[in-house]
Structure 1
Amino acid sequence: MGLTPSRDVFITCAVTGSGDSTGRSDKVPVTPRQIADACIEAAQAGAAITHIHVRDPETGKPSREVALYEEVVEHIKASGVDMVLNLTAGMGGDLTLGSVEQPLPPADEGTDMIGAEARLEHVARILPEICTLDCGTMNFGEGGYVMTNTPSMLQAMAGRIKELGVRPEVEVFDTGHLLLAKWLHGQGLLDDPVMVQLCMGIPWGAPDDIPTLMSLVANLPEDWTFSAFSIGRNQLPYAAMAVLAGGNIRVGLEDNIWLKKGVLATNGQLTEQAVKTAQGMGCRIMGPDEVREKMKLVRRW
């Protein structure tokens, strides 16, 4: 897959994430109602897909409580605003080792390791059109934290997602993760059309420079559909990068809280900027039903 700019583009908005961003911006949604409203705002601004994490309403910390996901989705349904729902399945693979001299047992703070079925409990209950599959293990940030997704865990999760009839969005944070995705596809665990998110610029994964992005794109199978994003100040410029590389766009407060220097963003504003960028490059913005048709998604509501 070479440098063939996209003409029809869909936008994903990742509205809250699980990072420690709530203390840095009061725009980051926390409660189920706030998260749902952020999804609605993004959809009305042009996002075909909303990517959803949930947080503890009292503390703002990341949560995997099924009831919180259900509450978010019910608010969205009640609004009547159409969007493709993409629920994270990344929670429950968090390992924080002990000290450098005594790494085991793992630290209680920051460790949350559960089985494949438990990681997908909310997906099985809600049956969204898309859920994420973090396709690999990597050092993440500083200290002893490791994002942990072993080959056996990925096999089990991919198989279960397939059974549920949900489309996995394969999250690729580094080059080896793409090899794991191809390996899963070769085993029949990822149905066509395969959907990939290239997650760039996250320490210590693939850097967000142009050669690294294009290396990943060049190694994607021709019939796979991808989006790409970077974090922080490079999020909005990466909307143009993704389009030039032949892909689709992701923005949102999960990855960046700034509209411009010194100005905190909302999810709607970030989506609006992505729309302007894509349209300024001659692209047409795809709606939810077009994405459903393209990706052969199963809509249940």
Structure 2
Amino acid sequence: MNRNVILTCAITGAGDTTAKNPNVPVTPQQIADDCIAAAKAGASVAHIHVRDPETGGVSHSVEHFREVMQRVREADVDIVMNITAGGGGDWIPDAEDPTRGGPGSDIQTPRERHEPVGELLPELCTLDCGSLNFGDMVYVNPADWLREHARLVQAAGVKPELECFDLGHVWFARQLQQEGLIDGDPLYQLCLGIPWGAEADTETMLAMRNKLPENANWAAFGIGRQQMPMVAQAMLLGGHARVGLEDNLYLKKGVLATNGGLVEKAGDIIESLGGRVMTPAETRAHLRLRDPSTGHIVKKALETAAGGEA
């Protein structure tokens, strides 16, 4: 069991969720405000996508990411920033010509996906570790693209969060590490409950956890109604956790959530199990992340309130 938990809040995704919950942030200012609210609620990390402010749909704009980052860094709170680098992989075959992408397809090269990370240098960025039947579309991320992307992240000095949506993704993430494309102790995120990837249940989380390298840090999340059960399960199995409106729109049945409310609820679960949420400073030290105020890697682990290393 892990008693010192890094709690990530996934602020807003790229899915069609804005009409389902008006609390899903859309504009850069709204996304930054929710990062700040998550920090005040006790989150360790904010994971961000950006959206088109006019439509609420997918955006890869470096300027939108830049505005979010600047607003958060200028606020009177601290939180570790994690930029998505997994956008631009959506493939929906055209109904008349399935060799071509149809409406809704959105494909970027690894270099294009990396652009916001390379320019803004967050402490963390995601690296989605394979292709997947993702609901009714295909998420495209071939092995050679992943190797190229891993090299770009490595050269930028940003720590990748290795997002694994199925057991084969864990296998390939280990391969990236063996090839020297992942520096230091790897950080894994086990992404559970997305149709048609790994299911959000104890057996699946345990199977994926048991395939991780010995030196791995890891977290897990479930989507929808499995979000809070997976917070508890990840902690009990020795991992960290993630919540947020990217993955779940409800605080409880019939009650629409906010990011701050989801963080508070997850924090209560962690505390009720005898744990605590790590501060952003402790998170940087534990994961050996870059300190945004100095640009240097934090090398010394901090002492936690419980008396041991974070």
**Alpha-carbon displacement from aligned partner over 1:34-83 (angstroms, at most 9, x marks no partner):** 00010001111111100000001111111001100001111111113101
Equivalent-residue separation in structure 1 for 2:257 and 2:104 (angstroms): 28
Which structure 2 residues correspond to residues 92-111 of structure 1 after superposition, within 5 A?
Answer: 92-99=88-95, 102-107=97-102, 109-111=103-105
Q: Distance in 1 between matches of 2:108 and 2:213?
A: 32
| 1:210 and 2:202 aligned | yes
Answering whether residue 139 of structure 2 is matched by residue 127 of structure 1, we say no
The residue aligned with 1:275 is 267
Letter in 2 for 1:118: E
Alpha-carbon separation, structure 2, partners of 1:115 and 1:209: 33
Unmatched 5+ stretches in structure 1:
none
Runs of at least 4 residues off by over 4 Å: none
Q: 1:152 aligns with which of 144, 147, 162?
A: 144
> Aligned equivalents of 2:52 and 2:94: distance in 1?
25
Q: Hey, what's the Cα distance between the residues in 1 that align with 2:214 and 2:42?
A: 27
Matches within 5 A, 1:255-266: 255-266=247-258
- For 2:53 and 2:80, the matched residues in 1 are separated by 24
Letter in 1 for 2:132: M
Q: 1:74 aligns with which of 66, 70, 77?
A: 70
Superposed displacement of residue 110, structure 1: 1.6
Identity of aligned residues (%): 48
> Helix, strand or coil for the counterpart of 1:75?
helix
2:108 counterpart (114, 121, 127): 114
Question: Would you say 1:232 and 2:230 are equivalent positions?
Answer: no
* Structure 1 counterpart SS, 2:163: strand
> What is the letter of the counterpart of residue 128 of structure 2?
D
Q: How many residues align?
A: 293
1:140 equivalenced with 2:149 (yes/no): no
Give the aligned partner of residue 175 of structure 2.
183
2:283 corresponds to which residue?
Answer: 291
The amino acid that maps onto 1:247 is G
C-alpha displacement of 1:266: 0.3
Over residues 150-205 of structure 1, what are the superposed CA-to-partner deviations in whole Å (9 max), with x where a residue is unaligned? 10000000011000000000000000000110000000001121001000011000
Match of 2:159 among 152, 163, 167: 167
Q: If the length of structure 2 is used for normalisation, what is the TM-score?
A: 0.93
1:299 positional shift:
2.3
Letter in 2 for 1:227: A
Helix, strand or coil for the counterpart of 2:283? Answer: helix
1:22 aligns with 2:18: yes
2:2, 2:181 → 1: CA distance? 28
Cα distance in 2 for residues equivalent to 1:175 and 1:110: 27
